[in-house]
A and B are shown apart, each in its own frame.
Chain A
């Protein structure tokens, strides 16, 4: 049982990392806290549900692209107008997320029949526990995404521009990096990551507006614990919370898992308010 718990804890950790990494990417680069993140996650699955008559991979790819476009449009048409005003950014994204999720609730997108297909319906034994291929895929895709993101931000010019903006927007501007375009891309990529997460995680459960809120809360929790904007922080926090949740679930009771997350947040905030790996910029003005 212990070994099995570890396997499931590992999978749970990757689920959490997948959920949080898009939110974190957007914030890390453009400083936009996208509170519509959970809604984009749900939006992707809704689009895909409507496209299911297409072959699986085509519908998945198409809905991921559509979600990315909506993220970009959200930035262009709404966020751009309130850029730099923290209050307005938060309220605008929160309002958009709210409207999307509650619209889905109104349309009756609740229940077990609303789910996405699994890739491969088979399972086998690992360490004394049955694990289905879907869950293995989550781990593999999670690993690939983290690795891919690292390669992207370190070796491609767009990725390097991302990091430049993240470090110092003004200096990046002087090097001819279009910060609005990069911010659009960052929101769009964040949305894309949410969509990928949805594609592989939703088959394990079902689509529901509440799922959207849950994803947002989990992403926020992981980012707060790990430290906003730090990819390493997201991974470490994902593992800490993922393991803690799964072990509480097995040895104490499933209703206690949420308490573990809350306790972790409060503990981290009390000891190191900026998160495990978070670095608040010491001062904006350096020179």
Chain B
């Protein structure tokens, strides 16, 4: 039994000047799957996300989404096709209240299209979405300026912005970093709910324990190359992974 492929990355390379950030990488994500990507700092994880979401163009190789070549498609069109991502570094509009930050994604052509040509009351939708990711409605957190919110809330705002676009493939770039244990615990159900709704999810994470609990499959990167792939247990047994994380003795 195998599910249809949602995203296929074929032999891509990305070279910045002389540094090879992603080195002949190929991988596949099946529809409805949760793929975790881990690797030491600078191993090319975020570059891979930027390549998939179209913010960077690869030096060589192809990226297919549902069989369609999206290698050189503009980022906003990729979002329109149903791939949305969060950023590792959150840069919200600090002076605006949190819910106003949601207006921009809700303004996108994709949202209008899915709503049958109407935008509806964006403020209400924004508040609902924020409540879903844990902005307590009773405490009016959503009305506070984004600049006054702690990092954990900003990360959740980032997630809400991505969900607002009703993506089929969701890429979460280090969503958990900067969150407290309790916050992570409150976000995990949100992610599980997205999975039940049939979304495909790619998670880049440093918090391995939390990731291993929810991921179907793990891919490990180092120096832009895939060094291991499989279930969490398989990956952790791999010699290459141990070397990459703990440093090999040479």
Contact = CB atoms under 8 A, between A and B. Distances in A.
Direct contact of A and B (CB under 8 A): yes
Interface of A: 282-283, 285-287
Nearest to B14: A282
A287 B89 CA distance: 11
Nearest to A285: B89
B55 A283 contact: yes
Contacts of A283: 50, 55-56
Interface string B40-53: 01100011001000
Contacts of B42: 287
Interface of B: 16, 21, 41-42, 46-47, 50, 55-57, 87-89
Nearest to A281: B16
A160 to B, nearest CB: 16
14 contacts: A282-B16, A282-B57, A283-B50, A283-B55, A285-B46, A285-B87, A285-B89, A286-B16, A286-B21, A286-B46, A287-B41, A287-B42, A287-B46, A287-B47
A85 B168 CA distance: 38
A286 B89 contact: no
A272 to B, nearest CB: 15
Which 4 residue pairs spanning A and B have beta carbons closest together? A282-B56, A283-B55, A287-B42, A285-B89
A158 to B, nearest CB: 22
A287 B42 CA distance: 6
Nearest to A284: B89
Contacts of A286: 16, 21, 46-47
A286 B89 CA distance: 11
A287 B21 CA distance: 9
B105 to A, nearest CB: 20
Given A285-B46, A286-B46, A286-B47, 5 more contacts: A283-B56, A285-B88, A285-B89, A286-B21, A287-B41
Interface centre among A282, A283, A286 (most CB of B within 10 A): A286
A283 B41 CA distance: 18
B195 to A, nearest CB: 28
A282 B87 CA distance: 16
A285 B90 CA distance: 11
Contacts of B16: 282, 286
Contacts of B41: 287
Contacts of B47: 286-287
Nearest to B44: A287
A285 B88 CA distance: 9
A58 to B, nearest CB: 44
A6 B165 CA distance: 60
Contacts of A287: 41-42, 46-47
Nearest to A167: B17
Contacts of B50: 283
Contacts of A282: 16, 55-57
Contacts of B88: 285
A287 B87 CA distance: 12
Nearest to B47: A286
Nearest to B57: A282
A287 B177 CA distance: 15
A283 B46 CA distance: 11
Nearest to B42: A287
A285 B56 CA distance: 11
Nearest to B21: A286
A286 B47 CA distance: 7
Contacts of B87: 285
A107 to B, nearest CB: 45
A138 B205 CA distance: 58
Contacts of B57: 282
A174 to B, nearest CB: 14
A39 B128 CA distance: 56
A74 to B, nearest CB: 30
A195 to B, nearest CB: 33
Contacts of B89: 285
A286 B16 CA distance: 9
A111 B56 CA distance: 54
B246 to A, nearest CB: 21
A286 B46 CA distance: 7
